Amino acid sequence: MDLGQETAAVVEASTSDGLTVEGIIANNWIIYDENESDWKSHAAAIAQSIHLIKKRLRWKKLIPRLEILSEQLNKPDLWDDPTHAGKISREHGSIMSKMKEVNGFEQELFEHIDMIKLAREENDSELELVGPHFSLSRHESLKALHTLRSNIKEKELEALLAGEQDSCSCFIEVQAGAGGTESMDWASMVMQMYKSWAERRGFGITVVDEMPGELAGIKRATIKVDGEYAFGYAKAEVGAHRLVRISPFDSNKRRHTSFASVAVIPILGDGSTRVQINESDLRIERYRSGGAGGQSVNTTDSAVRITHIPTGVTASCQNERSQHQNKASAMAVLQSRLDQLEMERQAKINAEHTVSLTDINFGSQIRSYVLHPYRMVKDHRTEYEVSDPDSVLEGDLDGFILSFLSASLDKNKDDYL
């Protein structure tokens, strides 16, 4: 391991005269629009972004964690357990990459500030102007600051997804609440909303299990969402979702309130599972797949339901072509559910806050979708709202997701400051 690189990753950068990110923020330089040619404005905006990224990455906790991982990597017997060693190596590499990237932003910021200050000493009267009287290096440094200011905003969003499982694919489960056909229809609408959202983001979508309602909609359904950071984004949707509308199933056209619950489970991937499943702990049931009928209806007992007897956790799949494929898919869901339960158990032991993805209380809805008497979608956790519910139901969820992720991380001021 290159200790020089590791040390560089945690050393705070500064200008030649000792100006740091915190120093720039303390100077309270005015931040103008990006189009303004003011180097102090660009520098202040970049410094604010670096500060926010560090807070979101929980910078103070990353440094001691990196030291612990480095000690473990240097143990001679580490690779006696390849699975554990691989996990340690990946986490160490991920932290190093994040810290080096942030410090790279700092270095670039201060190099350009030094260049501009040097040019100012040569031609102080032209400090706030950009024109032919500037040296090329100063003009290029101002342009570079402008570019860095734009690029680093994207990194602010990426820093929202710094959790251990955030980069994973996931399962999204939707279940109808009490209310019969109304809630089953709403659950179907919610599931379609997530399918549309996943398509917009370019994620892969696979229907794992679906139980149709008697008259309309679904009682429950599970989809697999494949893609980098699928879980990091989708975890913002965990909870109860409330719909208020004039019921299409009520001949008297009365207003109804319906609920659907959403759970999101990360797929940890090979070598990262938390729970070892023993075949002797499983009860496997085979049954006939349900569906709307027609020429393609499945008339064989190929659907599979698996119960993990010690915990009572179940998983089922009926959408694959064969019983073998259904069993494999159900096992994948079961593994993810058990892994999630184990992570929650560990979090409680460590007295850390965690959101339950399995025990949803309909009395604590996270979001309301109102179609009558007015039209609005409002997130009760962040107060973020939009007046176009149709666009939201068509998958335009990023505003709600990013607002929640930002609020969740940015309120933890002690993680960096």
Sign of the C-alpha dihedral computed for residues 132, 138, 142 and 147 taken in this order: positive
Facing residues of 212 across strands? Answer: 218
SS (H, E, C) the chain: CCHHHHHHHHCCCCCCCCCCHHHHHHHCCCCCCCCCCCHHHHHHHHHHHHHHHHHHCCHHHHHHHHHHHHHHHCCCCHHHCHHHHHHHHHHHHHHHHHHHHHHHHHHHHHHHHHHHHHHHHHCHHHCCCCCCCCCHHHHHHHHHHHHHHHHHHHHHHHCCCCCCCCCCEEEEEEEECCCCHHHHHHHHHHHHHHHHHHHHCCCEEEEEEEEECCCCCEEEEEEEEECCCHHHHHHHHCEEEEEEEECCCCCCCCEEEEEEEEEEEEECCCCCCCCCCCHHHEEEEEECCCCCCCCCCCCCCCEEEEEECCCCEEEEECCCCCHHHHHHHHHHHHHHHHHHHHHHHHHHHCCCCCCCCCCCCCCCEEEEEECCCCCEEEECCCCCEECCHHHHHCCCCHHHHHHHHHHHHHCCHHHCC
Q: Contact, 365 vs 259, CB < 8 A?
A: yes
pLDDT per residue rounded down to tens, the chain (417 residues): 455 555 555 566 888 888 999 999 999 999 998 888 899 999 999 999 999 999 888 898 888 999 999 999 999 999 998 888 888 998 899 899 989 999 999 999 999 999 888 887 766 444 444 444 444 467 788 899 999 998 898 788 788 887 878 889 999 999 999 888 999 999 999 999 999 999 999 999 999 989 999 899 999 999 999 998 999 999 999 999 999 999 888 878 888 999 999 999 988 865 566 788 899 999 999 887 765 443 444 446 789 999 999 999 999 998 887 888 999 999 999 998 898 888 777 666 543 333 433 344 455 699 999 999 999 999 999 999 999 999 999 999 999 999 999 888 766 555 554
What's the pLDDT score for residue 321? Answer: 79
Q: Are residues 267 and 178 in the same domain?
A: yes
Residues 82 and 131 in one domain: yes
Residue 224 belongs to a domain with what CATH number?
A: 3.30.70.1660
∠ CA 32-103-57, nearest 5°, is 85
pLDDT of residue 360: 43
Position 6 scores a pLDDT of: 59
Number of domains in the chain: 2
CA distance 22 to 44: 10
Same domain flag for 210 and 143 = no
The Cα–Cα gap between 379 and 359 comes to 20
Q: 46: which 2 tokens?
A: 């970049």
pLDDT of 294 reads 38
Q: Verify that 185 and 332 share a domain, yes or no.
A: yes
Supply 166's token pair. 């955030």
Domain limit, last residue, from 112, 140, 158: 158
The answer on 217 and 144 residing in a single domain is: no
pLDDT confidence of residue 157: 79
Structural domain that includes position 68: 3-158
Q: Regarding beta strands 255-267 and 239-246, do their DSSP bridges make them parallel or antiparallel, or are they unpaired?
A: antiparallel
Residues 262 and 392 placed together within one structural domain of the fold: yes
Same domain (yes/no): 152, 266: no
Domain end call among 141, 158, 175 = 158
CA-based nearest residue to 166, from 409, 380, 384, 388: 409
Domain check: are 34 and 74 in the same one? yes
